[in-house]
Chains A and B, each alone.
Chain A
Amino acid sequence: MSAVEMSESGGPMVPQVVDPIELIDDGNASSNDGYQGNQKGFFFWAAIAWLIFIVICVLAADWIPGLPGPEERIADRDIREGPSAAHWFGLNNRGHDVFARSIHGARISMGVALVATIGGIVIGGTIGVLAGFYRRGIDATLTALINIMLAVPGLVLALTLVGFFAPSGGFEDQRFLFFDVAPTTNATIWATIALSILAAPSIARVARAQTLVWSDREFVLASRTIGTRNMRIIFRDLLPNVLPAMVSFALIGIAVLVVVQATLAFFGVGDVTATTWGGDINIGRDRLDSEPHMVLGPSLFMFLTVLSLNYLADKFTQFNSVREAGV
């Protein structure tokens, strides 16, 4: 329920309350509306618009009319041509349109980062909530597990996992679970799994801390006194309160995952043939001083996406904290 709806439904209630004393202390019911963080300004809608644009890129990059394909050679001789009206971000060293590649790159970059974040929320959330809810020995064991996961150098873990399960080279199908998949797809899947495992421990810590706080609230005790089962307490009482903090934290983590995914591609691990922002930055890296436009294009996309996500994550936290402040 948004703040606006709150005030609308809060307004007419006051005169109908019979008891005059309730009139006095009902005043704070809608007083949160004046809080600044609750307002959706220009930047909020700009961030939303940019993310909608990215979603369109992810879903429909192949069908945008007039947009060259990622591997379409625009020029044979004037490669690394600077930005022009026809090619907004210029051409790269293979004569591909950088703008088109940035749009096409959104699919793998954002797809991997988003799926990995969801995976991280599931893995980390499960560990964190169980540790915070059951406490004692279970907490100690799971916290140890979290600390071990945090102590392992992330990049090494990701390189090992992807390198071991999805060795690059060769064109024969590889097996993932029960399915035969192309080696490039397999590499992408394992990169996503590796990123989920990387994201999980820090999300688990947030989830555990939040669960510790919320499970001490008296409404959890009240649920116990009516004989509610633990699973129902976790899903009805704890998760709705723990999830917002976890999601806001994970949204900020998406930015990191986009970069790590680029780093993996940079090391030649994972699907190196895919068009990704990280891969394109890598292509233009050695010409940064003479032809910076090759790096600027994908960097700009990444920058704006990460900025939008962080901004929305912030806003998301604020909307939620307002409701708790009222409580």
Chain B
Amino acid sequence: MAGSGSVHLRERDSVLRVEHLTVEFPVGTSGAKVHAVSDVSFDIMKGETLGVVGESGCGKSTTGKAIMRVPPPTKGSVLLEGQDLEGLSANELREVRGRLQMIFQDPISSLNPRRTIRDIVAEPLTVQWLEGFPRSPVSTAWRRLTSAMTAGARHPIAGRLARVGLLIFFIGFLLFVASTALADPDDFGRRDGGGGASLGEWIMTAGGVVLLPLIVVGAVGAVLWAVLVLLMPLASLPRTLKIRSQQKAFDAETETRVAAALEEVGIPADLSMPKMPHEFSGGQAQRISIARALILEPEVIICDEPVSALDVSVQAQVLNLLEDLKAKYGISLMFIAHDLAVVKNISDRVVVMYLGKTCEVAAPDALYAAPRHPYTQVLMSAIPVPDPLIDPRSARVISGELPSPITPPSGCRFRTRCPRATELCTRAEPVMTLAAGSPGESDAHYVACHHPLTEEDWS
């Protein structure tokens, strides 16, 4: 697998288009990286549901979060209706985020336990409303300084400087202490380390010089920061008063919108709004999350395993709700899940992922009936069948663990566990190719494999 390439992207206008998305996280200070998502591409049409499946740790959730830019991707582009999210200013991004929303796996953890349902659902509106009030110059300066200092403190050069400076200083200190301790005491019991001690002092001074820029910048920044913080309440007073004066009107307007959103997801609004999240069940909490995502009238909702933490009977409710909303508002869904049966029922197109790469892209029926990638086949055979006569031991399973994403296998990333792997798979990374159907149509079936399964393998 380990499929790269983007032939499976459709030419038509897509609502969400993800190209060559790569997410890497640094590990420690050695420069090693976790290759969480590597060169993943896909697109979603208006009103379409894209299912993303794969085992735990394959990067499907990371993909969803990277699209939302929490954190932003290392490489690649995300286009929402042709608009690239990369390079947008914070304010422009905030506007775009209204059209792109996300719901999460753990419904209870998605709601702040100390805020009322009204506040939680109204929060996206509140945040956008507050952005309408210009900030005082002091706040702006403070924000710039804070982010500059954060970036500076995280800059690798700062870390290296600090480490080297402290090391030099400590060596000098040790030298000074050692030579002083080894010297003979004079008549008054004092010890003079002589040359060793003064060399130690010089080395300590050198360490201090290395540390000096950090200390100076840090101290100046901290003083400036403290001054700005002290000035801020006064400088922000006009803005605060303006917000207070309009708060009532905004609350009244929000109230109706929150109530509408809650009713939309089947939560009785009047009773629920003053309540706290712990008074709701998992299914209800997930619907409240959906209401929060809906309130900004998004075009795409990224669902990160939205039902895997729910009771089976409640799963169906939430899925039906998502389907209804999709039909009613033409919302596109990116549905991340590891439950293959759920994905099959809800999706128009399915992407199979393995260790940060895409394996196969196809319509669910074709994918489930005739998987072409060996990994997809293994996934399919892992779906439980409610038939006591079937021997579970006969299912195709793969041995071994998911390889480390820090040092992924060369060539095809699935080759270490693949029954069909050959020497070719070690050398070359397979590229996404059309395996069946016609490009751009719904029957298109793409696979990234050197040795895809054929008809005889399915029988």
Contact A218 B110 (CB under 8 A): yes
Contact of B283 among A10, A22, A327 (CB under 8 A): A22
Contact string, B96-121, partner A, CB cutoff 8 A, digits 1/0?
01100110111011111111000010
CB-based nearest A residue for B266? A19
Q: How far is the CA of A224 from the CA of B69 in the complex (A)?
A: 9
**A227 close to B (CB within 8 Å):** yes
Q: Say how far B444's CB is from chain A's closest CB, in angstroms.
A: 31
Question: In the bound complex, do residue A240 and residue B70 qualify as a contact, i.e. CB atoms below 8 Å apart?
Answer: no
- When C-beta atoms are compared, the residue in chain B nearest to A141 turns out to be B153
- Given the complex, which residues of A lie within 8 Å of B296, measured CB to CB? 226
Are B281 and A22 in touch, CB under 8 angstroms?
A: yes
A138-B153 contact in complex given A219-B110, A222-B289, A225-B97, C-beta closer than 8 Å: yes
Which residues of B, 193-230, contact A by the 8 Å Cβ criterion? none
B65 contact set on A, CB distance < 8 A: 221
Contacts of A30 in B (CB 8 A): 279
**Contact yes or no, B281 A9, CB < 8 A:** no
Cβ B102 vs Cβ A22 within 8 A: no
Given A137-B153, A137-B154, A226-B123, A218 and B109 touching (CB < 8 A)? Answer: yes
**Cβ of A39 under 8 Å from chain B:** no
Pair B311/A25 contact, Cβ less than 8 Å? yes
Q: Hey, what's the 0/1 contact readout for A132-172 against B, CB within 8 Å counting as 1?
A: 00101110010000000000000000000000000000000
Question: From residue 64 to 89 of chain B, which have CB atoms closer than 8 A to chain A?
Answer: 65, 68, 70
Nearest CB in chain A: distance from B406 CB, A = 19
B292 at the interface (CB under 8 A from A): yes
Is the CB–CB distance between A240 and B127 below 8 Å?
A: no
Q: Does A1 contact B (CB under 8 A)?
A: yes
| Chain A contacts for B68, CB-based, 8 A | 224-225
Q: Is B411 an interface residue when CB atoms closer than 8 A count as contact?
A: no
B residues in contact with A138, CB < 8 Å: 150, 153-154
> Residues of A contacting B144 with CB < 8 Å?
none
Judging by beta carbons under 8 Å apart, are B127 and A232 in contact?
A: yes
Contact present for A25 and B281 (CB under 8 Å):
yes
* With A138-B150, A222-B104, A225-B101: A28-B281 Cβ-Cβ less than 8 Å: yes
The reply on B271 being an interface residue by CB < 8 A is yes
Tell me, yes or no, whether B276 is within 8 Å of chain A by CB. Answer: yes
Chain A, Cβ-Cβ closest to B289: A222
Q: Tell me whether A21 and B313 are in contact (CB under 8 A).
A: yes
Q: Which of A1, A18, A226 contacts B97 (CB 8 A)?
A: A226
Task: Give CA–CA (A29, B115) in the complex, Å.
Answer: 16
Contact between B278 and A13 (Cβ–Cβ < 8 Å)?
no
Which residues on A sit within 8 Å (CB–CB) of B56?
A: none
- Which residue of A is nearest B139, CB measured? A231
Which residues of B have CB within 8 Å of A28?
281
For residue B436, CB closer than 8 A to chain A, the reply is no
Asked if A287 is at the interface of the complex by the 8 Å CB criterion, the answer is no
Q: How far is the CA of A18 from the CA of B158 in the complex (A)?
A: 60
Nearest-neighbour CB distance to chain A for B94, whole angstroms, equals: 4
Q: A218's contact among B97, B104, B124, B128, by CB below 8 Å, is which?
A: B104
Known contacts A26-B281, A222-B110, A326-B279: A137-B159 contact under CB 8 Å: yes
Number of interface residues of B (CB under 8 A): 53
* Assembled-state Cα–Cα distance A9/B110 (Å): 23
Query: What's the least CB distance linking B228 to chain A, in Å?
Result: 13
Q: Are B109 and A225 in contact (CB under 8 A)?
A: no
- Annotate A2-30 by CB proximity to B: 1 below 8 A, 0 otherwise: 00001001100100111101100110111
* Most interface-central of B112, B268, B271, B274 (chain A CB within 10 A): B112
Scoring B93, B123, B282, B313 by chain A CB atoms within 10 A of each residue's CB, the highest score goes to B123
B358 CB-CB contact with A under 8 Å: no
Give complex CA distance A18, B266 in Å.
9
A228 shortest CB reach to chain B, Å: 5
Residues of chain B contacted by A221 (CB below 8 angstroms): 65, 70, 102, 104
Residues of chain A within 8 A (CB-CB) of B268 are 13, 16-18
A89 to B13, CA, bound (A): 88
CB within 8 Å of A: which B380-424 residues: none
A18–B317 CA distance with the chains assembled, in angstroms: 13
Decide yes or no whether A285 CB sits under 8 A from chain B: no
- Roughly how many angstroms separate A6 CA and B116 CA in the complex, as a whole number? 13
Does B113 lie within 8 Å of A324, measured CB to CB? Answer: yes
Q: Does B284 contact A (CB under 8 A)?
A: yes
CB proximity of A233 to chain B, nearest CB, Å: 10
Closest partner residue, chain B, to A28 (CB atom): B281
User: Which residue of B108, B130, B311, B317 is within 8 Å of A327 (Cβ)?
Assistant: B108
Q: In the complex where A16-B271, A25-B282, A327-B108 touch, is A222 in contact with B292 (Cβ < 8 A)?
A: yes
Most chain B CB within 10 A, of A10, A219, A221, is at A219
Tell me which residues across on chain B come within 8 A of A18, comparing CB atoms: 266, 268
The CA of A1 and the CA of B278, in the complex, are separated in Å by 12
Please determine whether B278 and A323 come into contact, CB atoms closer than 8 angstroms. yes
Give chain A's interface residues, CB within 8 Å of chain B.
1, 6, 9-10, 13, 16-19, 21-22, 25-26, 28-30, 134, 136-138, 141, 217-219, 221-229, 232, 236-237, 240-241, 323-324, 326-327
- 26 CB-based A-B contacts, threshold 8 Å: A1-B276, A6-B279, A10-B279, A17-B268, A21-B283, A22-B281, A25-B283, A29-B279, A138-B150, A138-B153, A217-B112, A218-B106, A218-B110, A219-B110, A221-B102, A222-B102, A223-B123, A225-B68, A226-B101, A228-B127, A240-B115, A241-B113, A323-B113, A326-B279, A327-B113, A327-B278
13 extra A-B contacts, CB within 8 A, seeds A138-B150, A218-B110: A25-B283, A134-B150, A137-B153, A137-B159, A217-B109, A222-B102, A223-B123, A226-B97, A227-B97, A228-B123, A232-B130, A236-B115, A323-B113
B-side residues, CB < 8 A to A, are 65, 68, 70, 90, 93-94, 97-98, 101-102, 104-106, 108-115, 120, 123-124, 127-128, 130, 150, 153-154, 158-159, 266, 268, 271, 274-284, 289, 292, 296, 311, 313-314, 317
